[in-house]
Structure 1
Amino acid sequence: MANRSGEHYDSTTIGLHWVTAIMVVILWGGGEVADFVPKGGWRTNGWTLHVALGFALVTVLIWRFVWRFTGRRRLPAADVNPTVHLVAEASHYALYALLFMTLAFGVADAFARGFSLTDLSSLPKFGDKDAQTALALWHGVASDLLIAVAFWHAAAALAHHYILQDGVLMRMAPERHPVPEERLESTDA
């Protein structure tokens, strides 16, 4: 397998990847523990934060799609084995599809409930109790599947890094630029 350690995605692609990953983990974790918080201000604020971050992630996902098809740096396939490459591509498409479904169900659920974003504003309410229950269920199922596929994706990246040692993980790591020696000398004084 070829060593891809010298190839990097552009900084926008890398930033969008890691912002998405961090937001997905925070949103999934928050959604999993929110109902364990006693009813009241803390739970309400937790759900408000969850919904606001969910809408922010919608914006990040739109940005990712636009960037993916217009401006990103395209790198050659990391895997020379066509089967491995096909599995990698399928997992990326699965991640995008599950992210889209999770966000679509989440946004629909927020509107079905007429979710209050602050004490001053609320989303318009478009659903009854049955719609709210169904949307919340499908949002939860999609988010659990998303986190499972994301875990698989992360495990594969770590296997590339530690077992195959082929540089694939480093393609999505921010590039490190060495500090010029004259700057190092001026900080030593």
Structure 2
Amino acid sequence: MALRSNKTGFGSITKSLHWVMAALFISVFAMGWYMDFLPLGMAKLEWMSRHKSFGVTILTLAVLRIVWRLSEPTPDALGKHAIERLAAKVGHLGLYAVMLAMPLTGWMMSSAANFPVSVFGLFTLPNLVAPDQGLFEAFKTAHFLLSWVIVALVLGHVAAALKHHFIDRDATLRRMLPVSGNNDADIDATGTAKESS
């Protein structure tokens, strides 16, 4: 499998970033919900610290992913209709935006609460804003609302991938799977996944 993407498929670096970030998003979302039900105490603070550390990891990978995405060709969209291709572009832009906005609002929320963000106990990030209760509440609300935006975007993303796979029967989903190939042999001239012999 090639490291870089081409016009017919995604490279191994893009695929790895996609699936690692998907796993991290699920983990951070689960942590966030779990710690909300914990009473204030050491256990909750430990989960909050893990949540923040994974959030910073997502932010770092999101920046790397965007830089990588801009540095290589993008496989051609296989949607048959212009509206599908437009929806795919808007959905991807939305996902990139929340990959940045979600951890940034969390970081700013911690800064406004005057709780510096420690990353896995290795180093501490500087505060992005001065302590301020009003800002804390605003960023807390934004962080919460963005969590639901992510859920909506991810569900739409998954639904579109499944639609391409089971209804359109093209290679959209296959070419992002970690074990799929990445060459012209996987896709015929119409973008339909070729049957394996």
Shorter-chain TM band: 0.7 to 0.9
- 1:1-189 paired onto structure 2 within 5 Å: 7-70=8-71, 72-116=72-116, 117=118, 126-176=130-180
Structure that is richer in helix per residue: 1
Worse overlay, 148-157 or 30-39: 30-39
Give the fraction of aligned pairs with identical amino acids, expressed as a percent: 29
Q: Distance in 1 between matches of 2:54 and 2:147?
A: 14
Letter of the 2:66 counterpart: F
* TM-score, length of structure 1 as denominator length: 0.81
Give distance in 2, aligned partners of 1:55 and 1:174: 24
- TM-superposed deviation, 1:115: 2.4
Runs of 5+ consecutive residues of structure 2 not aligned to the other structure: 1-7, 182-197
The code of the aligned residue for 1:42 comes to A
CA displacement, residues 109-131 of structure 1 (integer Å, 9 cap, x when unaligned): 12222325378975555222221
| C-alpha displacement of 1:8 | 2.6
Contact conserved, 1:23 with 1:53, CA < 8 A, in 2? yes
Equivalent pair of 2:174/2:180 in contact (CA under 8 Å): no
8 Å contact from structure 1 (residues 8, 170) kept in 2:
no
Displacement of 1:30 in angstroms is 1.4
One-letter amino acid of the structure 2 residue matched with residue 74 of structure 1: T
Q: Is the 8 A contact 1:114 1:122 kept in 2?
A: no
Q: Deviations over 1:62-120 (max 9, x none)?
A: 101110111x3421221132111111111111111222221221121122223253789
C-alpha contact (below 8 Å) 1:28/1:147 kept by paired residues: no
Cα distance in structure 2, aligned partners of 1:10 and 1:75: 10
Whether contact under 8 Å (2:58, 2:99) holds in the other structure is no
**Which amino acid is 2:155 matched to?**
F
Q: Bigger radius of gyration, 1 or 2?
A: 1
Task: Indicate the RMSD between aligned Cα atoms, in angstroms.
Answer: 2.3
Gaps of 5+ in 1: 1-6, 178-189
Q: In the comparison of the two structures, how many residue pairs are matched?
A: 171
Measured after TM superposition, the shift of residue 58 of structure 1 is 0.9
Distance 1:99 1:123, change over 3 A: closer
